[in-house]
Structure formats: structure tokens, C-alpha cells
Amino acid sequence: MKLLLSALLLGGLVALVRVDAFGQHVKPQPSAKDVARKVSLRCSPRKLWLGDTLTLNMSVPHGRDSAILSPDDKFFWLRSWEPNNRETTAQWYAFENVRQLKIFTGEAKGSAGNGDELIFMKTGWYSIRVSYNLETDDGTPFNECKVYYTHRSRPARGRT
């Protein structure tokens, strides 16, 4: 079933990817209905430690772009439009129907411009965003939840 879904998604990409007059791929834009849709995004737990798992619960459908901003405002892509990579693009299209995403703080990586990097490396507030377009300031709304992360292992219970 998963293989069939992947094949359908990849095959469907040919029809969904537009090319402009210069031969560049054009990112599909959300419809007015997509932009107006109320989306729920919940992060739990709200306080995380190194080695914990962050769970994102989302209503579907929701945006296809997803990113995490670190305490120093470094932008890490989790899902983004990459038309030259068919597998990543298929994952991008499929993401809008994902209800739950689990992110392990000890291993989570995101694209920060120079390849994938570990995301959770500093103590502080992290913002998780989901939208149809996080790459513009055109007013496309985004959903956001915040978590506080401590970059050390959780203290053992019973210790002070």
C-alpha cells in the first residue's frame, strides 16, 4: 500500500509541477480555501530535554511547509518545496495529510541552507511552524507552537 501511494504521488507530480517561461519550477500556491482554513497545531510536551521526543499533532489538511526556529532564530526546514528532488517533493505533498509527527531531540535534523544540521543544540524557546508557504512575507498565514528545550539530559527523579 505504501509503495502504491508513493508511486501515485511521484506519478502525479508530473502534472502538479509547473514550469515558468525560464524553465524554472514554480512552487504550487495555496488556494483561498487553503489559506482561510483553520488549522490546529499542538506541541507536546511544552518542556523538552535532550533525548525527549517532541510530538506535533495537527488537524488535516494543513500546510506542506514545516520548519523549526531555534532560540537564536536559525531556520531549520523539516518539509520544503524542492522540485529537483522527486522523493522530497513527494514527501512535501504528502505532509499536508500527516496528523502526527514525532521529533526526537537527540537526532532531529533540518535543512538550514548548508545541508542538514542538528536542530536542538541550544537551550531556549523553539518555534515550530506549519504553513502553505513559509518562504515569503506575502501574508500567507502559518500555525505555530512553541516549546522550551534544555540542552542537557533530564535530571533523574528523586535527585535534587
In-domain check, residue 7: no
**Phi–psi pair at 19, nearest 5 degrees:** -125, 135
What is the rounded distance in angstroms from the CA atom of residue 54 to the CA atom of residue 108?
10
Is 73 domain-assigned?
yes
Strand order in the sheet with 53-58: 41-44, 53-58, 100-104
| CATH number of the structural domain spanning residue 134 | 2.60.40
Please tell me the total count of domains within the chain: 1
Position 38 confidence tier, pLDDT thresholds 50, 70, 90: confident
Question: What tens digit of pLDDT does each residue of 123-145 get?
Answer: 999 999 999 888 766 677 889 99
Domain for residue 36, yes or no? no
How many other CB atoms sit within 10 Å of the CB of residue 121?
Answer: 14
Whether the full predicted model's pTM is greater than 0.85, yes or no, is no
